[in-house]
């Protein structure tokens, strides 16, 4: 605009202009890198395709509920209370609608139901269930742990009628606790820079923006399939590998027969953390799901795979990391003895002032200080892991429903009063260690 303003007119012959031409993808600006097309897609064209020529045979979008305040909570007690209340009200509405429809056959469900948001959160699918006179019941078996945001676990009521977009998670994390891991990464058309995070529980869609998740395994009920010779049974499920046979064969050809599918899974997690990869293909990663190379040098493959394992162990066991020795609480080293319960209650953490991040005011009793600046370099889903903990571990009340979500309830119900404080200290450690591992990743010539 400044150039046009100073040139007076777009027709001014002295106006310096650059002719833009779209590439073959139709990109005018922020053009994709042509090398990206030469790599192997991470996702299959068709899910559960055992013959796919991609890294994974399937993938799943994170859970989108359209009623988070109702189906998520730090408190199992309150979550159960909220869901029982909503389900009871739903059944009342369903029954009343069916009775009303007997005398007015053209009655539409939208014109009948009570939309009071302190009683229920309606969605299209739930309205359809009421119209079809489908009864719903509360079941404690539908309570599960979910990753709501990076390093933030909450309880989720995962019952499909109350989850608008449940995804494929019933085939990835079964109710019978079929073990699994999934690499969640930024989806297509996002505003935030690319990031990825491994999980071992069902993730929310926004654990990373528009999260697409790639599992190590997927499960199929035995009554749907005859178990194969090399498939592993988990109760009534057959466990399948989600790393493709194609990519295993490719990797073994390049790096030797010792390569297995777990090595490849962790290779993916390692290379997705490469700053060089993210920077070189930043435009591609905003417009497409990742395409990945099998690096030329075997030593680089193994270094990425080993680093991916280290990152995964760190990010999955984030709650168990010891505090950094130099981090202080109230100006003193972190004590071995626990603090009194009353001093551990959190309302909302904060920094002392804008830009001063070496110190966090935990509450009116406790202040954490001497936090290394490097800890804030670990960015996931648009902000530092530390700031995710600060933001989400705060007492909130949902405006429309009036539902309260208090992270202190998690600590109380898990008989761990110091959980939130320990979590913050652990995530500081995780951040420092992550930055160190990422700095040691192999340098690959992408151009």
Segment 64-109, tens digit of pLDDT: 999 999 999 999 999 999 999 999 999 999 999 999 999 999 999 9
Report strand pairing: 143-149 vs 152-157: antiparallel
Confidence of residue 223 (pLDDT cuts 50, 70, 90): confident
- Residues 231 and 425: their CA atoms lie apart, in Å, by 41
Give residue 27's pLDDT.
47
What residues does each domain of the chain span? 2-62+218-316, 328-439
The pTM of this model reads: 0.89
Statement: residue 233 has pLDDT above 60: no
Statement: residue 26 has pLDDT above 90: no
Confidence of residue 272 (pLDDT cuts 50, 70, 90): very high
- The pLDDT tens digits of the residues spanning 199-213 come to 999 999 999 999 999
Give residue 182's pLDDT.
98
For residue 196, what are the β-bridge partners?
A: 185
Statement: residue 128 has pLDDT above 80: yes
- The pLDDT tens digits of the residues spanning 363-415 come to 999 999 999 999 999 999 999 999 999 999 999 999 999 999 999 999 999 99
Give residue 47's pLDDT.
95
Please name which of 74, 211, 195, 91 lies closest in space to residue 143, comparing C-alpha atoms: 74
User: Average pLDDT of 141-164?
Assistant: 96
Phi, psi of 252 (to 5 degrees): -65, -35
Share above pLDDT 90 across residues of the chain, in percent, rounded to a whole number: 85
Confidence of residue 12 (pLDDT cuts 50, 70, 90): low
- The pLDDT tens digits of the residues spanning 35-57 come to 999 999 999 999 999 999 999 99
Give residue 33's pLDDT.
61
- Residues 219 and 58: their CA atoms lie apart, in Å, by 11
- Residues 76 and 11: their CA atoms lie apart, in Å, by 67
Q: Of residues 232 and 256, which shows the higher confidence score?
A: 256
- Residues 48 and 215: their CA atoms lie apart, in Å, by 11
Q: Of residues 223 and 315, which shows the higher confidence score?
A: 315
Please name which of 191, 203, 194 lies closest in space to residue 272, comparing C-alpha atoms: 194
Mean pLDDT of the chain: 92
- Residues 214 and 200: their CA atoms lie apart, in Å, by 12
Statement: residue 334 has pLDDT above 60: yes
- Residues 224 and 238: their CA atoms lie apart, in Å, by 9
Q: Which segment of 78-82, 309-313, 442-446 scores lowest on mean pLDDT?
A: 442-446
Q: Which segment of 151-165, 168-182, 210-224 scores lowest on mean pLDDT?
A: 168-182
Q: Of residues 232 and 257, which shows the higher confidence score?
A: 257
């Amino acid at each position: 605009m400044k150039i046009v303003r100073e040139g007076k007119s777009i027709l001014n012959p002295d106006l310096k202009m650059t002719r833009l031409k779209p590439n073959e993808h139709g990109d005018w600006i922020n053009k994709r890198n042509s090398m990206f097309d030469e790599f192997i897609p991470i996702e299959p064209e068709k899910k559960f395709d055992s013959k796919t020529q991609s890294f994974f045979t399937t993938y799943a979008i994170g859970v989108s509920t359209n009623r988070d305040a109702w189906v998520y909570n730090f408190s199992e007690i309150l979550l159960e209370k909220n869901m029982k209340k909503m389900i009871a009200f739903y059944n009342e509405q369903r029954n009343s609608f069916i009775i009303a429809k007997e005398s007015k056959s053209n009655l539409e469900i939208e014109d009948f139901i009570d939309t009071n948001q302190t009683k229920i959160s309606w969605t299209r699918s739930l309205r359809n269930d009421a119209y079809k006179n489908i009864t719903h019941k509360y079941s404690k078996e539908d309570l599960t742990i979910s990753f709501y945001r990076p390093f933030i676990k909450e309880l989720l009521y995962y019952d499909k009628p109350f989850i608008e977009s449940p995804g494929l998670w019933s085939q990835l994390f079964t109710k019978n606790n079929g073990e699994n891991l999934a690499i969640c990464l930024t989806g297509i058309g996002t505003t935030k820079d690319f990031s990825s995070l491994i999980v071992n529980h069902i993730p929310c869609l926004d654990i990373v923006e528009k999260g697409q998740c790639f599992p190590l395994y997927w499960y199929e009920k035995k009554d749907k399939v005859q178990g194969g010779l090399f498939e592993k049974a988990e109760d009534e499920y057959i466990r399948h590998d989600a790393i493709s046979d194609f990519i295993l064969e490719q990797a073994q050809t390049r790096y030797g027969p010792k390569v297995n599918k777990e090595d490849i899974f962790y290779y993916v997690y390692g290379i997705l953390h490469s700053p060089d990869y993210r920077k070189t293909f930043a435009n591609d990663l905003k417009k497409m799901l990742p395409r990945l190379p099998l690096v030329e040098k075997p030593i680089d493959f193994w270094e990425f795979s080993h680093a991916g394992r280290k990152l995964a162990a760190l990010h999955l066991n984030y709650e168990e990391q010891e505090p950094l020795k130099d981090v202080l609480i109230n100006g003193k080293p972190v004590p071995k003895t626990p603090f009194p319960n009353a001093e551990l209650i959190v309302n909302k953490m904060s920094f002392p002032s804008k830009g001063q991040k070496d110190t966090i005011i935990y509450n009116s009793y406790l202040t954490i200080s001497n936090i290394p600046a490097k800890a804030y370099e670990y960015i996931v889903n648009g902000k530092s892991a530390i700031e995710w903990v600060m933001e989400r571990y705060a007492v909130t009340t949902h405006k429309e429903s009036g539902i309260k979500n208090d992270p202190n309830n998690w600590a109380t119900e898990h008989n761990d009063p110091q959980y939130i404080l320990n979590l913050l200290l652990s995530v500081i450690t995780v951040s420092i260690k992550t930055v160190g591992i990422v700095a040691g990743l192999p340098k690959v010539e992408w151009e």
